[in-house]
């Protein structure tokens, strides 16, 4: 059974205080690891896809990295508008094609 575990569940930071969110995964034959951002009452917004260990992708204040067992979402000098729930999901090479999601990290950035 594929599993995705995100930590911490919730994180409060001051504006400008950098930190990292963790996503640990167990999947038989990883095809892709996805990061989404979700604001309250809205659908997840696509951020990144990572396909192989060592890969990194950046977008504004966010950088995602991938190892064979986990992914990190680094947030540098965050702003209040970065407050959201960040979701991690995996898909596999073979078998049922679906996204398996973690429970998310609820990030709050205080001004």
Binding site for other proteins (CB under 8 A): 31-32, 34, 36, 41-46, 49, 87, 89, 91-93, 96-104
- Rounded to a whole number of angstroms, the minimum distance from the CB of residue 17 to other proteins is 27
Query: With respect to other proteins, which residue has the nearer C-beta, 32 or 74?
Result: 32
Smallest gap from residue 31 Cβ to other proteins (A): 4
| 16/95 with CB nearer other proteins | 95
- Edge-to-edge strand ranges of the sheet holding 62-66: 3-7, 19-26, 70-75, 62-66, 56-59
Q: How far is the CB of 95 from other proteins (least distance, A)?
A: 9
Kindly tell me which of 75 and 90 has the beta carbon lying closer to other proteins.
90
**Shortest Cβ 14–other proteins spacing (Å):** 27
Q: Extract long-range pairs of 12-15: CB within 8 Å, 24+ residues apart.
A: 12/108, 12/110, 13/75, 13/78, 13/107, 13/108, 13/109, 13/110, 14/109, 14/110, 15/78, 15/79, 15/80, 15/109, 15/110, 15/111
């Amino acid at each position: 059974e594929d599993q995705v575990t995100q930590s911490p569940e919730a994180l409060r930071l001051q504006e400008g205080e950098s930190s990292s969110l963790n996503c640990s995964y167990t999947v038989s034959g990883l095809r892709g690891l996805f990061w989404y951002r979700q604001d309250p009452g809205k659908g997840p917004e696509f951020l990144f896809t990572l396909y192989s260990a060592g890969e990194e992708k950046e977008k504004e204040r966010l950088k995602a990295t991938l190892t064979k067992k986990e992914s990190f979402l680094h947030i540098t000098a965050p702003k209040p508008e970065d407050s959201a729930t960040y979701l991690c999901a995996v898909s596999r090479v073979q078998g049922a094609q679906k996204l398996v999601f973690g429970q998310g990290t609820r990030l709050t950035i205080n001004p």
